[in-house]
Every structure is written in C-alpha cells, then in structure tokens.
Chains A and B, each alone.
Chain A
Amino acid sequence: MEIIITEEQKCDVLKIIGRIDSYTTQNIKDAIQALIDDGRNNLVMELSNVKYLSSSGILMFVNIHKQFLKNKNGKLIFSNVPELIYSNIKLAGFDKLLEFADDTTTAIGRF
C-alpha cells in the first residue's frame, strides 16, 4: 500500500494505491491524523487504485468523517471509487453518510 499526498490550494488529495485492509488501515489512519494535526483537514481520498477495502478501512473513514462532523471542522470527500468497493460501502449503508465525487477535480472544486 502506498499513499501519495498532493497539497492543493484548499485541500489535500490522498491517492491510495493497493489494499486497505486490517494490515494497512492503521498506516492510512496515521497519515490522515498527521495531516489533521497539522491543521489540514479538508481531504480528498482518491481511491481509483484501491484494489480492496475491508470493513476495518470503511469504519476508519467513517470515524474520521464523524470526528469532522462533531468538531464542525474538516471534510472528507471520496473520489474515483471503484464500483465493487462502492457496492460494499453501500451494503453497509454508508453511501448515505459519506460524501462522494465522480472524479478528483470535482472533489477539489467543492472546497
């Protein structure tokens, strides 16, 4: 798993490559937390190169999203989510909670 972070004007784009499972979820959470600690909490998660997303990964994203809602500060948008990954997010009911964009340019434009 690899994370490429690109700083845009109003947000950061995290492009994740590989698997998000019980082995890699903590690393992704740490990378996101480091940005939040730095005051950078407008985040786009670019998932086009994610091959697999487990329940542990989904719940990690949901918890960060809830933290942003609770603090009324910060926003998480998912872009380019592969269909099979989206169908599991939907199965768990989180398609209604999390925010999605068809592509990264659209996601960046929302900040």
Chain B
Amino acid sequence: MAKKTFPGNFKSLELISKFIVTQAQQAGFEPKDVYAIQTAVDEACSNIIDHAYGGEDLGNIAIKVKETDSAIHIILKDKGKEFDPDDVPKPDIESPLEIRKERGLGIFFMRKLMDKVIFEFSKEKGNKLTLIKNKR
C-alpha cells in the first residue's frame, strides 16, 4: 500500500499522475490500463479541485493505493463540500456533435475506464472516492 498527500491545485496533477502511473505499473497493468487509471485519477482530482474545493489551494487531496490479487484500489480523500455525482449532468450523447453541450466528461471517463467508482461523503471525514480497476 502506498500513500501520498498533494496540495489541491492543478500543478499537483502531473505529480499525482507520476505517482499513480508508477503504482499501476508495479501492479502489473499493461500500458492501455495504466493510461486508463491515470486518466480516471486525473479527472477525479480535477473535479475535487473544481467542485469539492471550488478552487485551487483550498485543501489537500490524500491518495491511498491498495493492491489486491485481483485489482488495484485508489482511494481519494478531500475535505471539500459534498460532491454528488448526480448533480453533474450526464454527458449529452444524443444531440449532433456540432451542437452537443459538453459537460460531465470527466465523470464519464472515470466510469468508462474503471470497473468500479464509489462516491462517499461524511460530515466528519469529507469526500471519499474509490476507483477500482480489475486485473485481467
């Protein structure tokens, strides 16, 4: 298990990616899955900064990575306001591409690229997001 805490700003995203890529590679994922995990975590952290904290440098992002025999679990914690994924409108995939309203693409990526995405919130502990990718 590996643990790291990063300041909640966009500059941290590159360092977070490096940390996650190393962990995913060590867990034996192939490049395609490493990129998928990297994308999901990057989108999750951008959402934490934008939506949970509502701006940069208003709190930290704590990341815990656990590896099991069958999967990698990435747990992201923040002390921002409750992040309810249902508040984010679903991506519009029906309208013609030229007029489509772009929204919620980050969450769409997280759900498509990971096997399980769990959002939890408690007043004491803040937001907890668990991203799980199964080993093949």
Contact = CB atoms under 8 A, between A and B. Distances in A.
Interface of A: 19, 21-23, 52, 54-56, 58-59, 62-63, 66, 69, 84, 87-88, 91-94, 96-97
A62 B14 CA distance: 23
B10 A22 contact: yes
Contacts of B42: 21, 52, 54
Specify the main secondary structure of chain B where it touches its partner.
helix
B97 A56 contact: no
A32 B42 CA distance: 24
Interface of B: 10-11, 13-14, 17, 31-32, 35, 38-39, 42-43, 46, 49-50, 91, 93, 97-98, 102, 105-106, 108-109, 112-113
Given A19-B17, A23-B11, A97-B97, A84 B46 contact: no
B109 A93 contact: no
Contacts of A93: 93, 97
16 contacts: A21-B17, A22-B10, A23-B10, A23-B11, A52-B35, A52-B39, A52-B42, A55-B105, A55-B109, A56-B106, A63-B102, A84-B32, A88-B35, A88-B109, A91-B109, A91-B112
